[in-house]
Chains A and B, each alone.
Chain A
Amino acid sequence: MNAPFFKYGLFNDEVSLIVAVLIGIGFGFFLERAGFGNARKLAAQFYFTDMTVLKVMFTAIVTAMLGVYFLSVIGFVDLSLVYLTPTNLLPQVAGGLLLGFGFVIGGYCPGTSCVSAATGRTDGWVFLLGIFVWIFAFGEMFPLLESFYNSTPMGQQTLAQLTGLPYGLLVFAVVVMALGAFAAAEWGEKVMAARKGGKA
């Protein structure tokens, strides 16, 4: 077991920052490849005309999930050293809803707005500005929000720990669910395209 490499001390902090840039480049690259620098394409997800967001997101989740699962099971990766953000259920639910609103109103999420800005979109830059301003607002309001922010803590919880089901079973379930979602998405896109074609 010698991964994650950084946690086993294979390289120091300075090098990790270089790794960060490289990983970020890969991240931004594939986001743009998928067309996520364009707010209209992102927003189309929520009108069922273009389900790319769902396809890319869940394919990425499934890929990384399968990868980290099998690497852990064979003992290459020590999964307990991979950081799992602690769950605070209520603020995460509230934040998620707010994010969803922001997604369809603004047309981006923080990562894709960077890609959009990098490819010249003015709305991407303005979106970023909005993020900054309102993070600042959050910071200023934090004393008021603090108790809500820290409410309903559940610690670091995986779905396996929560449900008591075997981790591998949940991996399988996620794969099946994702494949089902993809099939539905393809079907939905066809229907919407036909409808549009019929109208015109």
Chain B
Amino acid sequence: MTTHATTSTGTHEPDAVASARTPQPYTNPYLAGIGLGLVLLAAFVIMGRGLGASGAFSTLVSVGVATAAPQHAAGNAFYGAYLATEGNPLKDWLLFEVIGVFAGGFLSGVLAGRIKRTTEKGPRISVRGRLTFAFLGGGMMGFGAKLARGCTSGQALTGGALLNVGSWAFMMCVFAGAYALAYVMRRQWQ
């Protein structure tokens, strides 16, 4: 059982807006996992659905496009799917859930003294380089998540717990893809 103290190798901003307390070690990963699993279970039992994240972003994008170009959005099958609800499409379960994710993450960060204006990166890369990769990585994530109908929370966690075939296939591919590219990207992290 290893607990990790947050060493700050590679963080860049000297004027880090940190809370006065020193950052606390992370929770035992298995306990954090159990907590996460119980939250997912609560979603199953209360709502009859699982967690998610990428869907909320799709909703925002679709609403954005619809506001700027309603005809175009209506004619597009992808955006249409997120706009097809009766009533305000922004009253979307996932969107509210993601708002909660921000809040919960912030809360935990405050309690643990881990709020910090910084860019996480390895020692051998510049901030600009890191941010470029973050943008590209985010892009691939967004694109891939749409193809797969979900991301690690919606597909891997939710579908994994429900023994969903597509989700397990998806999960294996995520790990495979990441490990495959890890060597190429090592300079960013190590």
Q: Do A's and B's CB atoms come within 8 Å in the complex?
A: yes
**Chain A interface residues (CB < 8 Å from chain B):** 3-7, 13, 16-35, 37-41, 43-47, 50, 52, 55-65, 67-68, 71, 76-77, 81-89, 91-111, 113-124, 126-140, 142-143, 145-146, 148-149, 154, 156-162, 167, 170-171, 174, 182, 186, 189, 193
A89 touches B166 (CB 8 A): yes
Q: Using a Cβ–Cβ cut-off of 8 Å, how many residues does chain B contribute to the interface with A? A: 129
A102 touches B137 (CB 8 A): yes
Q: Are B32 and A56 in contact (CB under 8 A)?
A: yes
Q: What DSSP secondary structure best describes chain B's contact surface? A: helix
Tell me whether B166 and A98 are in contact (CB under 8 A).
Answer: no
Out of B42, B57, B100, name the residue touching A131 (CB < 8 Å): B57
A-B contact pairs, 8 of them (CB 8 A): A40-B121, A63-B33, A85-B164, A91-B148, A94-B144, A120-B118, A123-B121, A133-B142
Contact A111 B169 (CB under 8 A): no
The answer, yes or no, to whether B84 is at the interface (CB within 8 Å) is no
B1, B43, B64, B105: residue with the most chain A Cβ atoms closer than 10 Å: B105
- Residue in A closest to B13 when the chains form the complex, CB atoms: A122
Q: Which residue of A lies closest to B106 (CB)?
A: A118
A residues within 8 A CB of B141? Answer: 98-99, 102-103, 106, 108-110, 113, 127, 130-131, 134
Known: A68-B41, A110-B53, A115-B105. A142 touches B78 (CB 8 A): yes
A64 to B119 CA separation, bound complex (whole angstroms)? 33
Least CB distance, A192 to chain B, in whole angstroms:
11
A115 CB to closest chain B CB (Å) equals 3
